[in-house]
Structure 1
Amino acid sequence: MEELKSAMNEHLDQMADLVEKFTVELRSGLKPATENFIGFFHAIDWKEPWLMSLILFYVVLLLVTFLSRKNINFQMCLFLFALGSVYLAERLNSFLGNNWKSFAGQNYFDQHGLFLSVLWSGPLLVIAIIILVNTLFSLCQLIVRWKKAELRHRARLSRDKKD
């Protein structure tokens, strides 16, 4: 019985420590996360040509996404391209990690792929979400047009029956 009591007390002490650590983290708010983000942002040399090219690529891709918003088939190709590129990010990370000396000043490509996830997959997923939202709006408009046409057709049929 004493062993059970001591085990329970030990477990309660551990839980109290966990709750205390959690509340301390909650009180600190988002400060650690913002500090980590600022540290990540400052660790990158944004003047490297390949990074500038990558940012330009995203700007062009975003412009193409907005300009082609009425062409659903092209948007679906862009959507598949974006998701396929995210799918291949792990392979791209290992390839770039092995060859970083030929294009970068430092090795940004760690084993876990954090850098590539933030600067490759993140923007592509944002563009994919924009395309998805645009597709949903287009489908809603198509359903409304279809329903209006159906109501006009029914009204025409009922009018023809009365005549």
Structure 2
Amino acid sequence: MEEVQAAVTAHLDQVSGLVQALSYELRRGIGPAADSLLAFVHAVDWTEPWLMCLMAFHASLLLAVVRLRRNANLQFFLLFLAYSGVYLAEKINIYLAEHWKSFASRNYFDRSGVFISIVWSAPLIFISIVTVVSSLITLCQLMVKWKRAELRHRVRLARDKQE
């Protein structure tokens, strides 16, 4: 019994050390990332009409996903659109880098695609996650309904056999 208790204590000490190390790394690692994000937010002119339209597009797509959460076909179509947008982000970035003077005050579109990833792909990925979670919730509810119906059917069959 003492051996088991010693093994559990050693294991708990090891887990505690890992949690403390992870906590330290998270606290140390979030600061520089937050600074970079803040610098990005301040570097972009968010009042440009095309950026406002892009944000409105993402907001309306998110609202459509939430409103149409019960319609599986439209959910899959919106999911397909979102994934297609993420897939085409590189091509969109190249095109916008060539034509930025016609709609923007600065060239935000670098070769690595950081800007397009943040303002285009990240919201689409978030919308995709919302769609998938919504679909999983609907699927779980459907499975519960199906199982309840199956149990009711079994009870009816058992009752009919007894009579």
Normalised TM-score (structure 1): 0.82
The amino acid that maps onto 1:146 is W
Superposed, which structure 2 residues align to 1:145-156 within 5 Å?
Answer: 145-156=145-156
Q: Which residue of 2 aligns with 1:128?
A: 128
Q: What runs of 5+ residues in structure 2 fail to find an aligned partner?
A: 1-23
**Equivalent in the alignment of 2:102:** 102
Distance 1:63 1:74 in 2: 13
Q: What amino acid sits opposite 1:85 in the alignment? A: G
State the Cα distance separating 1:29 from its structure 2 match.
Answer: 4.3
Q: How far off its partner does 1:58 sit?
A: 1.0
Q: Which residue of 2 aligns with 1:33?
A: 33
Residue by residue over 1:32-85, the C-alpha shift from the partner in whole angstroms, topping out at 9 and shown as x without a partner, is 222211111111011110000001111111111111111111111101110111
- Paired with 1:95 and 1:32, the residues of 2 have a C-alpha distance of 31
Matches within 5 A, 1:69-88: 69-88=69-88
| Corresponding residue number in structure 1 for 2:68 | 68
| Alignment: residue pair count | 139
Alignment match, 2:21: none
SS in 2 for 1:30: helix
RMSD: 1.5
Cα separation, 1, equivalents of 2:161 and 2:34: 69
User: 3-state SS of the aligned residue for 1:99?
Assistant: helix
Rg larger in structure: 1
Q: Any unmatched runs of 5+ in structure 1?
A: 1-24
**AA in 1 matched with 2:87:** Y
Distance in 2 between the 1:157 and 1:102 partners? 72
SS in 1 for 2:107: coil
Identity of aligned residues (%): 50
